[in-house]
Amino acid sequence: MARKARNLNTSTLVSITQKSKGFLFRDDQDRENMLMILKQTQETFAFDCFAYCLLDDQLFKLIIDTKGRNISTIMSSLLMSYSAYRKSEEKLFSGRFRSVPLNSKEELQKEIELIHQRTKSHFNSFCFYSQEAQPFDQLKITFDLNQVGGGEIESTLTFDQAKERLESWMRQKGCDPLTLKKNKDLRNQCIHEFRKTSNCSLKTMGLLFSISESSVSKILSNK
């Protein structure tokens, strides 16, 4: 039976839980690498992170505001990057991640409190709220809940819509498709900027730039 598609017509604020079939985190070095990958993913997709918890060996939790980006694309990039780091022979993640929309600041605050544990470990974002804890200072954590939006998620762009945006980008840069094809640095810059400013799937981006989805994902994971 085909999987039911996720409902995109909901709040951009989401609480995410992803489980593993085995040991997701074998040790603290794995957790350090997950935080670095989370940082890189945040830089790529420009989402807000409100809380995280990596203390459990077999799952992790996140609370983010996707800022209109496709949540499945964000998570796919995160999980693929971590799986590549682990080089696990078996499938690392058990099923799709669970996401719960948060429709108010009150719901957001309550969910943050649920995943925070009284620990000095920077593998839980409680460290950002405790003077005794040592924070992971490379990850951008949002504190001001008054700036939280509750907008609806932007619909994923069709190929024709994405093509129009790409053509607009090329006009602004004064280049054409042939130049973009020959100049990989310019193409990669375009892919990074395009992903940050539009809700476009990896598949559509691959079609736009005539490369594979995996190549798009690798480009997005590299700065």
> What pLDDT shows up at residue 192?
81
- The CATH number of the domain where 143 resides is what? 3.30.70.1290
- Asked whether residue 196 is assigned to any structural domain, the reply reads yes
Blockwise average pLDDT, block size 10, the chain, 223 residues:
44 90 92 92 85 92 86 90 86 86 84 84 76 54 48 62 86 86 88 73 83 81 64
Domain range enclosing 216: 159-221
Paired residues of 11 in beta bridges = 152
> What pLDDT shows up at residue 26?
93
Domains: count for the chain:
2
- Asked whether residue 184 is assigned to any structural domain, the reply reads yes
Question: How many Å apart are CA 166 and CA 187, to the nearest integer?
Answer: 11
Contacts of 75 (CB under 8 A, 6+ apart): 16, 18, 97
Out of 147, 172, 199, pick the residue that ends a domain: 147
CB 62 within 8 A of CB 80: no
> What pLDDT shows up at residue 223?
58
- Asked whether residue 3 is assigned to any structural domain, the reply reads no
Residues 142 and 179 in one domain: no
Question: How many Å apart are CA 34 and CA 11, to the nearest integer?
Answer: 26
